[in-house]
Structure 1
Amino acid sequence: MQFKPIYGTLLPLVPALTSGLLLFSAFPGPGLYPAAFFALVPLWLSLDRISSKQAFYAGIGTGTGFYLPLIYWICPTLTEYGGLNPLAALSCLLLLVLYLSLYTGVFALAMKKIPVPDGLVPFWGAVAWVALEYIRTYLFSGFPWGVLGYSQYPNLVLIQAADTFGVLGITFLLVLANGSLVIAFKAFARRAWPGKTNMAGLGLVMAVLCAVFIYGHFKLAQVHGQIKGAPSRKICVIQANIPQDQKWDRAFIDETIDQYSRLSLQAIPCDLVVWPETALPFYYGMDPVPSNRVDALVRKAGTFFLIGIPAARPSDHGFLYYNRACMLTPLALPAGYYDKHHLVPFGEYVPLKRLLWFAEKLTAGAGDFSKGETGPVPLTFGTGTTGVLICFEIIFPHIARDFVLNGADILTTMTNDAWFGRTQAALQHFSIAVFRAVENRRSVVRAANTGISGFIDPSGAILEKTDIFTACALTRQVPVMSGKTFYTRNGDFAAQACLVAFFLVCVVKSMKKKFRRTL
């Protein structure tokens, strides 16, 4: 057996996998968020010693080392609730990991194939990584889970810049830091002081990072001052902890209503009570007996209720089903509703259903929902307004932006994370909401069936949160801020600029190569 070819093939994967595991360690679960500042360095340094083909595979290796432990929870979710056998669930997980890893593969290939002066390496790397994360956010319905910037949710000083550049702006800074370390390590390996170009590049990187931390320090103090002078709303979130295997069993409807009633009556008086996504396991308003019980509870509490419900309406092709958030007045009268707009493929609907008929059982536990048509219109409770993001909608920054642009003075997200079990997925999901608070300078209220529920203030500070798989009611005064941030008004303009720059550089490089071949 020849070991040298195998050795030569596997050796480049060692730094690649190291980078992947370091990236994973920066996210909730391990929670070593400073690792994101240097996680890409092993991969990046290894690119000089390998071919372009090996660089692409090394990038895929980094993605595999990162995404496989980050989203492994998809496998038990598909097995337990999707009805798939373990082998099929594992295949789905590996296919998704491979897809996500293609982006890191393209990043590594771009760093290898498109050389730039060493002083510009950090900026080229940051442009490429952000462009690819922006594509991943929207392509094929989008799956921006694991966007690098989200790792910094505990780093309150750094993430204040998200009110200008969004979470992808934080990603840019992290890759910039990684690139500057690459330049420094290369200079150290050569035992030579970096040249003028390199020093200029390093100096610019340091200036940018210092400016962002200075901005964050002063902005944090400013926002805290604004919070102290802002009005507030007293809001309660209900975490009923209904087991997923009982949630849609009609035999447990009375028990479910009893649980929500008991917890909700503990919370009053307050301005708004928030129940999680699809809290009611029946069609509110269409099933009269349980609906009347809910109405009686609301009237007894004498306050506004925001409740997650499944909804249905007749159409020419039968019934259409919606994942809905319904606002009820203290008299139990509907005051408005929002239907989930961004559905989860294979979780709430099956794309290309005629071709993928075998995948329908994946939606059996959650329902086969239709895309909402209500749009990002805030719901009113008393003198307050709230934008409602249902489940995975919180991971898409533009949805929260649209609600705030339309007048929401707080953001509410309701979800059912029971699917995730006792994995780190619930904390990953919760941490993403921190950035929606900072980007728009709005308080975020989160109600989850099994947790994590809690409150986040406009600075991104987590005011209070629950443990998972506990039944409880949290009540808190949350600040209500007005005005619109630069990010709210302009969105991901910087990420879009990175995307344009990335494609222009790639096209110019390709044209130059083609032109040289014709000479």
Structure 2
Amino acid sequence: MNRTIMDVPNARPLTIHSARPEDLSESSNVVASNGWAPELRALISGLLLWAAFPPNGHWWLASIALISWFGNSVAAPPLSRRRTFLSALVGGIAFWLPALQWVRLSDPSAWAGWLVMSLALAIWWPVMAMLVRRLHVRNGWPVTIVWPVVWGFQEIGREYYMTGFPWYHLAHSQFRQTWLIQIADLGGASLLSVLLVGFQAWVAQWFFTGRWTWAEAPACWRRTGAALGVIAILVIAYGQARLHSGKFEEGPKVALLQSDIPQSRRLYPDHDELIEAYRKLIEKSLTSNEALDLIVWPETSFPYPLIVIEAALDEATVKHILGDHVGPAAADDWYRNRSESQAFVNAWASQSGVPMIVGATAWDISGFGLRKYNTAALFHADAEPQYYYKMHLVPFGEYIPWTETVPVIAELAPFPPDQRPNLKHGDSARVLTLKNRWRMAPLICFEDTVPHVVRRFFRDSWLNAGKDAGATSEPGHVDILLNLSNDGWFRGSEEHEVHLASSVFRCVENRRSMLRAVNTGISCIIDSNGSILEEAAPSSERIIISQVPVDKRVSVYSLIGDLTGLTCAAGVAAGCFLRNRKNVQFPQASK
């Protein structure tokens, strides 16, 4: 059924399908759209949403925080484009500015980066608001559908936007509520996010239109409410079923080393001092009377570079490659000393009889030349080391992005020319195989926060099934996730717990346990249900020794990826580019 009301000036009529006339009735809307009310509503939502995340941790606020801002979507008359944009920007800044305050702790020059990063992410709020305006006000789609779709689009968009920053997904605020987060193995963290958003959009529609009783509400609203209630029951029931369906096998017994070394000491290290600090932790773990299968160091904790030479290269070729980069004289030293670092760690692994995974910087010499990587290296006694090179680098911390297309960026970066980060991206999701039995997917630094990076290990393992001759587990199988990180940049801040929240969701999404060895914390063991089994307090020195539970379940998410985000992105695209069939006009927008 159609309804015709006054048109927006200079706007062409748009067509929609309206199930019931009262759903579009102006008289049903009582929310104010003048004064500072829209900005105030968005500000309240931004602050409440921030309070749902660490350091506040009021997780239940994530279920109501956005209702205030969503009220702007049902304003009558609709907000103008300018007010829609500006009010949403206020809310975005109110959330992202305090949420990212820990970024400024990384370096005295990081204050500017904190402000720029906050604004760059806050812009997603007006983007969402403008999309909702288009799909709801102009196309006539119900807010209970539009807001979840747009929010899901925003979350998958941030996974790739500006090299990717998939932190602070709405669902991440629930990371300690294991009974609620189990559906992440179906559609990722975003599936829970869109359900939380859908509930809040429905409440906003009720609250801000004045139809506060069940009898007064249109039938489609009542049906939506009933559907949301059924979905909530199914989510809880599914969570309970998954929590009780996991049958864990006994995995390796590991020692996770958590050092508490401030970044100021790591930037200009006394190598002997750092080695001594980890030697003491290793000795302490070996005297625990536990039969260990593995000792794990944090990211870049080994202070000496590892030199990795492609097996097919002869000595003359290696020296030629080195000479092009470090000079002929230094090339001889590099080649002569290439085995010293590896021998150092191998000696510890041999003497203790326990394999070690070490975080370090690696210089890789191959047919591509000399390249520098952030690496995780597995050392076995009497076996060749195994190396993983980090694939997803942190911009400006590990490399300067876009310099090939915009060279001036390198000049604007706050680094002297000889100190600019120059790490290369690894090109392979290499698993590390422990004792020819357990296959571990190493994730360095913030790689565990990027869902598609973690899933790539599963995808590549299945594609390469049967090609890895060493492992006795199922071909193409990943048994354990492993995160080596140095969070000393943000020592003592909420970053530790926000980072941990992402790790929890990676475990549930892929149904795999995770080991985390983190300088300054939070080191821990997380099982495949997202339960944190062992947890070290941040800003402390600690050793975690525990048996790792191994889960063989295969999740829907691991198989098909982020179907939730892709579906939402497709919905936004369809809403923006497809035309409606019936003609409905809308009231004049408020300025």
Letter in 2 for 1:39: A
* Structure 2 residue matching 1:217: 3-state secondary structure: helix
Letter in 2 for 1:263: L
Q: Distance in 2 between matches of 1:453 and 1:467?
A: 8
Q: Distance in 2 between matches of 1:160 and 1:465?
A: 21
Who is 2:89 aligned against?
Answer: 60
Say whether the 8 Å CA contact 1:119–1:183 is kept in structure 2.
no
* Structure 2 residue matching 1:106: 3-state secondary structure: helix
TM-score by length of 2: 0.79
Q: Find 1:399's aligned residue among 442, 446, 453.
A: 453
1:178-189 to 2 correspondence within 5 Å? Answer: 178-186=200-208, 188=210
Who is 1:236 aligned against?
Answer: 255
Say whether the 8 Å CA contact 2:71–2:205 is kept in structure 1.
no
CA shift, 1:360, in A, is 4.5
Q: Distance in 1 between matches of 2:549 and 2:226?
A: 39
Report whether the alignment pairs 1:115 with 2:136.
yes
Say whether the 8 Å CA contact 1:237–1:273 is kept in structure 2.
yes
List per-residue Cα deviations over 1:265-297 (Å, max 9, x = no partner): 322431111111111122135566665443322
Who is 2:550 aligned against?
Answer: 480
Q: Find 1:357's aligned residue among 410, 426, 430.
A: 410
Report whether the alignment pairs 1:271 with 2:293.
yes
CA shift, 1:462, in A, is 0.6
Cα distance change of structure 1 residues 365 and 263 upon mapping to structure 2, 3 Å threshold: farther
Who is 2:440 aligned against?
Answer: 386
Who is 2:155 aligned against?
Answer: 133
CA shift, 1:300, in A, is 1.6
Cα distance change of structure 1 residues 362 and 218 upon mapping to structure 2, 3 Å threshold: farther
Bigger RCO (CA 8 Å, 6+ sep): 2
List per-residue Cα deviations over 1:56-105 (Å, max 9, x = no partner): 211111111111111111123231xxxx2xxxx43322222122112111
Say whether the 8 Å CA contact 1:150–1:167 is kept in structure 2.
yes
1:328-477 to 2 correspondence within 5 Å? Answer: 328-331=379-382, 333-353=383-403, 354-362=407-415, 367-373=421-427, 375-382=428-435, 383-405=437-459, 406=461, 407-477=477-547
Letter in 1 for 2:431: P
Cα distance change of structure 1 residues 298 and 163 upon mapping to structure 2, 3 Å threshold: same
Who is 1:219 aligned against?
Answer: 242
Q: Distance in 1 between matches of 2:480 and 2:147?
A: 36
Q: Find 1:170's aligned residue among 192, 202, 205.
A: 192
Who is 1:299 aligned against?
Answer: 350
Who is 2:15 aligned against?
Answer: none
Say whether the 8 Å CA contact 2:306–2:361 is kept in structure 1.
yes
Q: Which runs of 5+ in 1 are unaligned?
A: 1-6
Who is 1:103 aligned against?
Answer: 124
Letter in 1 for 2:254: I
Which is worse superposed, 506-515 or 448-457? 506-515
List per-residue Cα deviations over 1:285-334 (Å, max 9, x = no partner): 55666654433222122111111110113479974210000011034x43
Q: Find 1:508's aligned residue among 575, 578, 581.
A: 578
Cα distance change of structure 1 residues 435 and 317 upon mapping to structure 2, 3 Å threshold: closer
Q: Which runs of 5+ in 2 are unaligned?
A: 1-32, 308-336, 462-476, 587-591
Which is worse superposed, 17-26 or 356-365? 356-365
* Structure 1 residue matching 2:361: 3-state secondary structure: strand
Q: Distance in 1 between matches of 2:349 and 2:368?
A: 34
Who is 1:14 aligned against?
Answer: 40
* Structure 2 residue matching 1:254: 3-state secondary structure: helix
Q: Find 2:274's aligned residue among 253, 256, 260.
A: 256
Q: How many residues align?
A: 495
1:272-291 to 2 correspondence within 5 Å? Answer: 272-285=294-307, 286=337, 291=342
Who is 2:106 aligned against?
Answer: 77
* Structure 2 residue matching 1:238: 3-state secondary structure: strand
Which is worse superposed, 457-466 or 398-407? 398-407
Letter in 1 for 2:120: Y
Who is 2:359 aligned against?
Answer: 308
Q: Find 2:71's aligned residue among 39, 45, 52.
A: 45
CA shift, 1:358, in A, is 2.7
Q: Distance in 1 between matches of 2:301 and 2:384?
A: 16
Letter in 2 for 1:180: W
Q: Distance in 1 between matches of 2:106 and 2:541?
A: 22
Letter in 2 for 1:261: R
Q: Find 1:195's aligned residue among 211, 218, 239.
A: 218
Say whether the 8 Å CA contact 2:152–2:564 is kept in structure 1.
no
Which structure: greater helix fraction? 1
